[in-house]
Chain A
Amino acid sequence: MNLDPKIPAGDLADKWDNHRFRLKLVNPANKRRYRIAVVGSGLAGASAAASLAELGYEVDCFCFQDSPRRAHSIAAQGGINAAKNYQNDGDSVYRLFYDTLKGGDFRSREANTYRLAQVSVQIIDQCVAQGVPFAREYGGHLANRSFGGAQVSRTFYARGQTGQQLLLGAYSALSRQIGAGKVTMHVRSEMLDLVVADGHAKGLITRDLVTGAIRRHAADAVVLATGGYGNVFYLSTNAKGCNVTAAYRAFRRGAGFANPCFTQIHPTCIPVSGEHQSKLTLMSESLRNDGRIWVPLRHGDKRPPNEIPDAERDYYLERKYPSFGNLAPRDISSRSAKEACDEGRGVGESGLGVYLDFRDAIRRLGRDVIEQRYGNLFHMYAKITAEDPYQVPMRIYPAVHYTMGGLWVDYNLMATIPGLFVIGEANFSDHGANRLGASALMQGLADGYFVLPYTIGDYLAQSKPGAAHVDHEAFIEAESAVEKRIAALLAIGGRRSVDSFHRELGRIMWEYCGMARTDAGLRRALEEIPALREQFWSDLRLLGGADSLNVSLEKAGRVADFLDYGELMCRDALARTESCGGHFRVESQTDDGEAKRDDEQFAHVSVWEHRDGDEPVMHKEPLTFEYVHPSVRSYK
């Protein structure tokens, strides 16, 4: 497997400029002869499809939802980072680069991360020009807020709906190109396989989710913008439809999968309320500015929170991390909450929750101030839990939120299969082992608006347009594989529903590949997952047929891939015996329980290669740091 990252030569600050000059160009008159397939219509996919069409390429864009506007980017709340330095508080491209690299615990590429910081400033310009209604000051200029992992104010936001507004901006640009006939939009279409012909990605196979029709689509290049794999845990903050199928199918066709165990677990989510739970809801991290986190000192103390006196409460973050206290970073806060619950001190009916208490803040500042700051969040919390957080402490628990791993890409965002490009959360390149808040939106739009449109031209300029044809044997083979798989799923005729398998997989993943991972636990997961997969393929009950709208069939295909993917995650987590960012190996911690990175052995990207009928094999891309020397993160 060729893992040359193709990092351009030259000084860090000049790499992207130099590279853009060296990239080959496609003659404007020739662009319309090239057809590009973009899978996914979130921030990365919509921005890429629109920008490529504006350049003159013919674009096909696919999404499984009923409209491109519904992609899960829409749910992002907090904001988008950019090194504009509008606040004159010392921000710069280099500082954003540094914060992102350090936040990722030194497991990402310097050159990619620097480029991300560079193009961040253009993103804000572009979005404002589209009519994105960012928050403004009275003078009419853009407002900024602070966010975790940074000491400057560089986050742009549109109330608590930044993701929605940015996505609607990209959707409007995409809609303009659909209206102009330059993008053909395929809604309710799910990619079920990648077609690789003569060693190059040349198209895909989709299923029309309304009619069940299986279709072949030829392209000169394929772009995957299909998001992350958080739903392997069943319960996550992801939308219900988010899945790993497109990325996993590409992996099966030869694309390397990088760092599949890197998962971000967000500390402040509303806890699971029962067996019926279908997804988890995030409560903004900003609440930790005024809320104090605690659990009862005594195990199994079931008294209502307000009856537990202060002396019998354990404000464990304040105790363990006196200088950061309740504002300890995401990974550390999440792990500490788990520890408290594992000790039997968790709260709520399930025992999987900790208190986030505003009593002291309300006493100090008054209810009005708290209401001004967090009113909408308190309202949402009350709506979901039927408890009044002004009166009783909130209950929170960590939940799976984002995935830093993804398909391996080089500096051009091209996967190990030539002609396959991967952008947004679906690739692995910019966030290392932990993503900072407000950086996901930045990366999705950076890739789609300002990186891919340049780099894809370099690939296309070296290939003949229209070379792929749907009659090629690779298309026939892939289509037949898809049809066989659907028929196999429908033929099982067992007793258990898809959801019951998905829940069980989620339980295994959360237990053994969640916030704290051990050698023994991961080995156990590697026994339980194949056993569950075997049950799935022998005991699944799937009703209805292949030729109509069949929601269970859609889910079954996704869960089948999650069952394979979960195993890959556990393999990767087992191989990485160090702790870094969101990946905590219990065996690798300091005497006082902090994550211990091992730069000697693990300063690399783990890239997995699929082998038919055999175990996947791992390759390494070494990470070298020329500008920032990896240091130890401490929050004591």
Chain B
Amino acid sequence: MRLTLHVWRQANSAARGGMVTYQLDDVSPDESFLEMLDKLNEQLIERGEEPVAFDHDCREGICGSCSLMIDGIAHGPDAATTTCQLHMRRFRDGAEIYIEPWRAKAFPVLRDLITDRSAFDRVIQAGGYVSVNTGSAPDANAVPVPKADADAAMDAAACIGCGACVATCKNASAMLFVGAKLAHLARLPQGQAERRMRAKRMVEQMDAEGFGACTNQLECEAVCPKEIRVSVIAAMNRDFLRSSVF
């Protein structure tokens, strides 16, 4: 395959970035999208140009490192698929592909396609946990958890923290991410003691980080590689309201 790539290049967070166009030949349809970028980088190095920096690690769709807006879609055209699991056979020979970093005020660009997503970590640090010290747990079967609750908690807990929900949202809202963690813990008996406090703290931190509000366009759900449902946002709003009213 022959491709024309338009890639966002930016030297560092202070520098001005811009799109740069590259031609890439000999792309195999069996390559993953990131392997295609590896190939581009090998060619750039050969030509004496600095390679394109992008985040990636497991390349199995679970670590949440990889990102990329591909033709304007977070993680590219396939549903329920991270960029690392996207393959070039999904594109046609001769295609032009636009590759950009996540775009959100709370995720500043560090270089090229790499952004700083530490805001997500700070939201979790504000309350995304059950306060239980090592060693103080009762027997694991002491508290039965209905299967439906465990399954629903697992659905929400599947979030990989990639940030696609924020990147695709016109308001750069992080509510799908925050709602997923709250919904995960709120469905389990272990999460009840701190439920309202958790919602309050995480939402406040989310606002402090500069993430926007939700206007119910559901784009986050459409691009989420782990298919987290927007119902977690409704649950988040309920718990947040309770924490402030009662």
Contacts and interface: CB of A to CB of B under 8 A. Distances in A.
A binds B: yes
Interface of A: 47, 50-51, 54, 65-70, 72, 74-75, 84, 86, 122, 124-131, 133-142, 158-159, 161, 164-165, 168, 171-173, 175-176, 178-179, 185, 187, 210, 239-241, 273-274, 276-279, 281, 383-386, 449-450, 453, 497, 499-500, 541, 543-544, 548-549, 551-552
A68 B161 CA distance: 11
Interface residues of B, number: 78
The 8 closest A-B pairs by CB, nearest first: A140-B144, A129-B137, A172-B129, A179-B125, A125-B137, A133-B154, A133-B153, A51-B134
B57 A241 contact: yes
Interface string B57-82: 11110111100000000000000010
Contacts of B11: 548
Nearest to B59: A279
Interface in B73-113: 81, 85, 87, 89, 110-111
A497 B232 CA distance: 46
Q: Which of B114, B121, B143 has the most CB of A within 10 A?
A: B121
B35 A552 contact: no
B35 A65 contact: no
Contacts of B65: 65-66, 70
Contacts of B131: 176
Interface of B: 11-12, 28-32, 34-36, 38-39, 42, 45-46, 48-51, 53, 55-60, 62-65, 81, 85, 87, 89, 110-111, 114, 116-118, 120-121, 124-141, 143-147, 150-151, 153-154, 157-158, 160-161, 184-185, 188, 190-191
B51 A278 contact: no
Contacts of B89: 386
A344 B64 CA distance: 39
B154 A159 contact: yes
Contacts of A131: 129-130, 153, 184-185, 188, 190-191
Given A128-B140, A139-B144, A168-B157, A383 B85 contact: yes
Nearest to A163: B62
Contact of A74 (B53, B63, B136): B63
B157 A137 contact: no
A319 B185 CA distance: 50
Contacts of A499: 38, 42
B118 A128 contact: no
27 contacts: A51-B133, A72-B63, A74-B62, A122-B135, A129-B138, A134-B150, A136-B144, A139-B144, A141-B141, A142-B141, A159-B154, A168-B157, A172-B128, A173-B132, A175-B128, A175-B129, A240-B58, A281-B59, A383-B87, A386-B29, A386-B87, A449-B135, A543-B50, A548-B11, A548-B12, A549-B53, A549-B111
Given A122-B135, A164-B62, 18 more contacts: A70-B57, A84-B140, A122-B137, A126-B134, A130-B129, A159-B154, A161-B62, A173-B129, A179-B125, A240-B56, A276-B31, A279-B59, A386-B89, A450-B135, A497-B45, A499-B42, A541-B45, A543-B48
